[in-house]
């Protein structure tokens, strides 16, 4: 009895199994969702359109070099690079979705940076400045982050000198959305300045944007400052005298103007450093008072500049 019924049933099952068709592999290559985190850690969703992944990056945020995306694709499909992999954040990055049946579809990343172009309204000073001066740049849409915003002075040969953000005032934000505070570099030790005398354009790089001011600035003469005269402000011809102060660089000759006659006399240059100038009073120098001096300096391409003695004046005795 058992065999009479079981064997036909088994045969029927085998027949039915033999008639079952194999399901086809899925052909779907859709990229369903694409999201990353922005610089503030907030989710940022990409728009998939025309085989592109359009990702709008928020304004005033640092634009990353790479991103890590969370990606959802069609059922039974895979994607390369994989979800969670770090990839360059640029238009050269392509994701490929492979369906179960081997079909493929590529999706190119399309970053859209929502950063407005900065505008330089004015600089202060707006014509002439010199070494160590404060330079302020007023405008709009600067990214308030020194890692993303930089300032340069550009000479006529397109050589660029970066400026350091700085302010003499406490609690001042030196990199703001509407103002930048910078300092013109001073020469290091006894070297000539990195910014020779001449005209410069102000260049601001902020995020992916670069702008130039529409007027030029001139690096003017570097007037040395004298704070003390050693060993004494009263000297005789043949004596040595040292001016203490700052900004003595590249000096090749020194002349002093006699206050009584208005005549200029050359003093013998013994040496100089950034903070002092050593001279000898030759026998040819007329007696009298000297408070205005003219120096020739390699810092100005052999041109001359002046410095004055304000606190005490050099007196040359008979």
Distance CA 220, CA 242 (A): 25
| Boundary (domain end) residue, out of 167, 192, 219 | 219
Q: Would 145 be classed as within a structural domain?
A: yes
- Residue among 277, 275, 233 at smallest CA distance from 255: 277
Q: Please list the residues that pair with 236 across neighbouring strands.
A: 317
Beta-carbon count within 10 A of 141 CB: 17
Number of domains in the chain: 3
**pLDDT at position 141, please?**
94
Range with lowest mean pLDDT among 118-122, 231-235, 292-296:
292-296
**pLDDT at position 132, please?**
79
**pLDDT at position 103, please?**
97
- Residue among 260, 269, 318 at smallest CA distance from 292: 260
Q: What is the mean pLDDT of the chain?
A: 88
Q: Would 140 be classed as within a structural domain?
A: yes
Q: Would 8 be classed as within a structural domain?
A: no
Is 131 in the same domain as 208?
yes
Reported pTM: 0.62
Contact by Cβ (8 Å): 105, 119: no
Q: Would 19 be classed as within a structural domain?
A: no
Range with lowest mean pLDDT among 24-33, 87-96, 296-305:
296-305
The pLDDT-based confidence of 303 (bands split at 50, 70, 90) is low
Q: Please list the residues that pair with 151 across neighbouring strands.
A: 204
Q: Is pLDDT above 70 for 304?
A: no
Is 123 in the same domain as 207?
yes
User: What's the CATH code of the domain at 92?
Assistant: 2.60.40.2340
User: What's the CATH code of the domain at 147?
Assistant: 2.60.40.10
Mean pLDDT in residue range 132-147: 92
Q: Would 26 be classed as within a structural domain?
A: no
DSSP sequence for 68-94: E-EEEESTT-EEESPTT-EEESSTT-E
Domain that holds residue 304: 225-317
Is 289 in the same domain as 199?
no
Q: Would 99 be classed as within a structural domain?
A: yes
Is 82 in the same domain as 136?
no
CA-to-CA dists, residue 220 to 36, 69, 135, angstroms = 50, 53, 14
């Amino acid at each position: 009895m058992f065999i009479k019924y079981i064997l036909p049933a088994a045969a029927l099952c085998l027949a039915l199994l033999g008639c079952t068709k194999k399901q086809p592999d899925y052909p779907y290559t859709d990229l369903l969702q694409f999201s990353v985190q922005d610089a503030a850690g907030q989710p940022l969703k990409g728009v998939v359109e025309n085989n592109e992944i359009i990702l709008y990056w928020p304004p005033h945020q640092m634009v990353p070099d790479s991103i890590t995306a969370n990606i959802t694709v069609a059922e039974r499909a895979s994607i390369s690079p994989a979800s969670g992999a770090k990839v360059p954040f640029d238009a050269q990055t392509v994701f490929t979705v492979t369906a179960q049946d081997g079909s493929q579809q590529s999706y190119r990343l399309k970053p859209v940076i929502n950063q407005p172009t900065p505008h330089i309204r004015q600089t202060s000073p707006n014509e002439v400045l010199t070494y160590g001066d404060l330079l302020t740049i007023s405008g709009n849409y600067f990214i308030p982050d020194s890692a993303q915003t930089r300032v340069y002075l550009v000479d006529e040969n397109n050589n660029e000198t970066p400026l350091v953000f700085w302010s003499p005032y406490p609690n001042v934000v030196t990199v703001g959305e509407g103002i930048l505070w910078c300092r013109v570099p001073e020469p290091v030790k006894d070297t000539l300045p990195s910014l020779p005398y001449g005209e410069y354009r102000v260049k601001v790089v902020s995020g992916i944007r670069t702008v130039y001011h529409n007027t030029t600035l001139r690096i003017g003469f570097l007037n040395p400052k004298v704070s003390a005269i050693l060993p004494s402000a009263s000297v005789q011809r043949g004596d040595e005298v040292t001016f203490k102060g700052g900004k003595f660089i590249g000096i090749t000759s020194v002349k002093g103007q006699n206050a009584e006659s208005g005549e200029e006399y050359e003093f013998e240059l013994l040496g100089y450093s950034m903070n002092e100038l050593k001279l000898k009073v030759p026998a040819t120098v007329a007696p009298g008072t000297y408070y205005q001096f003219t120096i020739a300096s390699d810092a100005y391409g052999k041109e001359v500049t002046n410095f004055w003695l304000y606190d005490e004046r050099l007196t040359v005795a008979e």
